[in-house]
Amino acid sequence: MVVVGAQGRWLAPLALLLAACDSGSPAASVGVEAAPAAPAALTAAQAAGFDPGPIKSAAEYLAEPELAAADAARGELLAFACAACHRFRAAEGTLIGPHLEGVFGRTAASVPGFSYSPALRQAGLVWTPRSLEAWLANPSGFVEGTTMAFTGYRSAEDRRDLIAFLLRATQ
């Protein structure tokens, strides 16, 4: 089936959103190639001791080979799933989740005035591309007890592209 007109421009982002929100059925059911399984989930105790790696500027992270090779434009499409609950700028306020401005280098659960789950507050995470990659693979498996309902991105490429976009969009 070919979709044309104004509605057609939403087909690709909608397919990506549906694939990202899929809680277990094959991604192929929405016409997206199935991605490899996410890394094994960490326990809450492991998340608390997770090494986020060095804190750097967005430009320094984006110069690293893996993120330099990422497709940030594709990551922007993947960010439609994030935008359902988060805003990228503090001035835009919060929705279901906190705003993401300045997220890299920030301690998790630290946006003033936002009510976080006790599990995320106690995790002691610092958001870096490394910790966000682990979170995006399986939020509830990485921090057991989080209230974030998003099931994660199974594809490492999806996570990499999304992180490259977020590094630009949340500075």
- Sequence-distant (6+) residues with CB within 8 A of 87 are 93, 94, 95, 99, 100, 101
Query: What was the pLDDT predicted at 154?
Result: 94
Neighbours of 40 (CB within 10 A): 8
**Angle, nearest 10°, between helix axes 129-137 and 156-169?**
130
Q: Does residue 62 have a pLDDT over 80?
A: yes
Neighbours of 15 (CB within 10 A): 15
Task: Determine the Cα angle at 160 with ends 89 and 45, to 5°.
Answer: 85
> Residue 80: is it exposed, middle or buried by C-beta count within 10 angstroms (0-12/13-18/19+)?
middle
> Residue 26: is it exposed, middle or buried by C-beta count within 10 angstroms (0-12/13-18/19+)?
exposed
Tell whether domain 36-169 is in CATH 1.10.3090.10: no
- Helix, strand or coil for residue 129? helix
- The predicted-structure confidence for 147-166, as pLDDT tens digits, reads as follows 998 999 999 999 999 999 99
- Helix, strand or coil for residue 49? coil
Nearest partner of 138 among 116, 111, 121, 158, judged by Cα: 158
To the nearest 10°, the Cα dihedral for 159, 161, 165, 171?
A: 60
pTM for the full model? 0.74
- The predicted-structure confidence for 32-42, as pLDDT tens digits, reads as follows 333 333 344 44
Q: How far apart are CA 35 and CA 136, in angstroms?
A: 14
Query: What was the pLDDT predicted at 59?
Result: 96
Q: Where are the domains of the chain?
A: 36-169
- Helix, strand or coil for residue 167? helix
Q: Does residue 22 have a pLDDT over 70?
A: no
Overall size of the chain counted in residues? 171
